[in-house]
């Protein structure tokens, strides 16, 4: 086992004004950063990208905290309004910051939007936006670019090349970095006909995030 990683994962329930949230910690032995990542509006922390980051990043000195929003913990099937998601995220932040390390605020899809909207007020060190939903499918005029551009901290976007919620070429110019996962859809799944396999697609994500996180310290 890598000396920088612990195999012990800790689950913690946090009371917030939106209900009880849950944090699953994947701790690095000699952590330099905490990466907090939440899920989207249609899934949980078992998403392939969140699992991959939790498995890989601790070896790079990054403790990963996968955060389940209160609506998921309560067993509901539909996410609440964005402002309620923000309330839940604010509520778990003290626990994320408690180790005393810089915290990267992150998430996938709706979770990425939450991270962008709240980064400045919470004092996030940076933002990781996985599968940022730039616009609803087929409705590019309903852009959410302002949320991304307004994060106010170093930001990395990881986007599937075929994501109907926003392909990399659709993203506006800005000070953020962008890593493209070729052929990937909104969940970073790649079709069998693609030139890369699913494991290679996930490696693009974890390698890109590890490199970027290393540049922040």
pLDDT at 40 over 90: yes
Mean pLDDT of 83-98: 98
In the predicted structure, residue 164 carries a pLDDT above the cut 70: yes
Quick check: 3 pLDDT over 90? no
Cα–Cα dist 181/196, whole Å:
10
Residue 66 Rama label (left phi>0; alpha psi -120 to 50; beta): beta
pTM for the complete prediction? 0.95
Q: What is the pLDDT of residue 8?
A: 57
Distance between CA 103 and CA 217 in Å, rounded?
A: 11
Q: What is the pairing mode between strands 5-16 and 19-28?
A: antiparallel
Q: So what's the pLDDT on residue 4?
A: 47
- Contact status, residue 49 vs residue 87, Cβ threshold 8 Å: no
């Amino acid at each position: 086992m890598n000396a920088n990683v612990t195999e012990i994962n800790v689950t913690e329930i946090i009371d917030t004004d939106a209900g009880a949230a849950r944090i699953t910690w994947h701790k690095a032995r000699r952590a330099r950063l905490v990466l907090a990542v939440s899920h989207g509006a249609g899934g949980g922390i078992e998403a392939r990208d969140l699992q991959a980051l939790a498995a890989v990043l601790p070896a790079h000195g990054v403790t990963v905290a996968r955060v389940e929003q209160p609506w998921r913990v309560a067993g509901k099937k539909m996410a609440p309004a964005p402002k309620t998601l923000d309330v839940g995220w604010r509520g778990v932040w003290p626990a994320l910051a408690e180790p005393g390390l810089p915290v990267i605020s992150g998430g996938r899809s709706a979770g990425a939007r939450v991270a962008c909207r709240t980064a400045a007020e919470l004092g996030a060190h940076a933002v990781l936006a996985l599968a940022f939903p730039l616009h609803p499918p087929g409705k590019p005029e309903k852009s959410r670019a302002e949320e991304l551009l307004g994060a106010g901290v170093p930001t990395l976007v990881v986007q599937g090349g075929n994501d109907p919620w926003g392909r990399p070429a659709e993203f506006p110019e800005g000070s953020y970095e962008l890593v493209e996962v070729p052929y990937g859809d909104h969940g970073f799944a790649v079709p069998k006909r693609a030139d890369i396999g699913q494991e290679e697609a996930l490696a693009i994500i974890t390698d890109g995030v590890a490199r970027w996180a290393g540049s922040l310290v």
